[in-house]
Amino acid sequence: MPTMADVARRAGVSVATVSHVLNDTRPVLPHTRQAVLDAVDALGYTPNTLARSLVTSRTRSIGLAVSAISNPYFTEILQGVEAAALAEGYSLLIADPHDDPEHELKVVQLLHERRVDGMIVAPSARPDELVAYLRRQAVPTVFLDRVITRDDDDGSGSGDGEVAERPAGPGRDGQLTSQAGGFDQVCAENSEPMARLVTHLAGLGHRRIGLIAGLPGLSTTSERITGYRRGLAAAGLPYDADLVVSGSSESAAAEHATADLLSRPAAPTALVTANNAMTIGTLRALRERGLSVPGDIALCSFDDFAWADLFSPRLTAVAQPSREMGARAVQVLLDRLAAPDRPTRTVRLPCAFVHRTSCGCPEEVRGGAEGADARPAGVNTEASAQSEKGTTT
């Protein structure tokens, strides 16, 4: 196996120069750098990453802690993180916190012990111990998807369909919620897209719109409930707490919650599920009761599926930019590593409204008022924030 000394002899330079080129620790003349790289290619030299980490104090690795890696939503985020990390020459260490605060802290500690350069974490509903550990250890971290919210951040984004970036500092009263200060965050807009689903159903004549909400304590849950209430208000409908049940962000709990909601005296005529896993549970509950969609009850989902177009009827949904979120989280983390003292920021990415037929719209109507289609098979897709222009949410 060729060594660094072999590369140095081949390139006609010192071993120190080879080290500077490979580790990017000091400027090297362009022709000298190229000679070293040519020697590396010719000899098939592979750098020793452990030795490199001793020189640079960097392992060029990123720790990723996200729950439910088997969930298609998180799988797409993972793909975005991995692609962006590899493109920048970083490896990825992955752990699943299982949405359990104690396990979350344990896996983050293990990732930290592996000397990752930084972490990307989708925090649990009770992240205070996690946040305290990351701050105490000064671990460069980006919170992903489930963020540590600010008092003045309701998940509505910029409202113009563009990426919204804002400082991740104190809220209106100068206080930090759940120790949010000091960390970068990347997530999707939540409030406006959810309001978009609700106003769409209200526009179809529905007056009792139920919500299968996510796990209490998650920022995504609270922001989507906010959007649900805003959508009702925009449509002139009262908020009824009896129409909101918790599906705990999982399929089985959502099935039970939907069954409970449908058994109440004044059942809803339309349902909105707050993530894709809960959509599956809701569909099971509807099937158990022999209810058809949208004939007996309309259904919309916050979260799109790769196979949602294959459902019968096809699922009207909000599609999150999952891969883009993962890739953006990597870039934000690398920006932090390059400039540790830069101001922290929260990046919110716009979602898309995907208009199909589970809401009750016939196929021939979907291509009209909703605008041109950017997806195959005639599916209408719009940036949800752009869809909300002119609507008070």
What DSSP string describes 304-346?
A: --TTGGGSSSPPEEEEP-HHHHHHHHHHHHHHHHH-TTSPPEE
Show the tokens assigned to 169: 């500092």
Q: What is the pLDDT of residues 307-354, one digit of tens each?
A: 777 778 899 999 999 999 999 999 999 999 999 999 999 999 999 999
Averaged over 77-93, what is the pLDDT? 95
| Residue range 134-156, pLDDT digits in tens | 999 999 999 999 998 654 455 55
Per-residue pLDDT tens over the stretch 271-307: 999 999 999 999 999 999 999 999 999 999 999 987 7
Furthest-apart CA pair in the chain: how many Å? Answer: 85
The answer on pLDDT for 179 being more than 50 is no
Whole-number pLDDT of residue 50: 52
Gap between the Cα atoms of 163 and 180, Å rounded: 21
- pLDDT, residue 44, reads 84
Which of 37-41, 54-58, 257-261 has the weakest average pLDDT?
Answer: 54-58
Cα 98 to Cα 101: distance, rounded to the nearest angstrom: 8
DSSP symbol at 204: T
pLDDT of residue 166: 55
Least confident stretch, 49-58, 167-176, 375-384: 375-384
At residue 15, the pLDDT reads: 87
Cβ(175)–Cβ(151) under 8 Å?
A: yes
**What average pLDDT does the segment 357-364 reach?**
88
Strands 118-121 and 345-349: unpaired
Over 80: is that where the pLDDT of 391 sits? no
Q: Which residue has the higher pLDDT, 327 or 47?
A: 327
Confidence check: pLDDT of 211 > 60? yes
Residue 120 has pLDDT above 90, yes or no: yes
Instruction: Answer whether residue 160 shows pLDDT above 50.
Output: no
Cβ atoms within 10 Å, residue 277: 24
Within 10 Å of residue 365's Cβ, how many Cβ atoms? Answer: 12
Inform me whether the pLDDT recorded for 225 exceeds 90: yes
Residue 96 has pLDDT above 70, yes or no: yes
Mean pLDDT, residues 188-192 taken together = 97
pLDDT of residue 195: 98
Please state the pTM of the whole predicted model. 0.77
- Residue 386 has a pLDDT of 33
What pLDDT is stored for residue 390 in this prediction? 29
The mean predicted confidence, pLDDT, of the chain is: 84
User: Using 50, 70 and 90 to split pLDDT, how confident is the model at 51?
Assistant: low
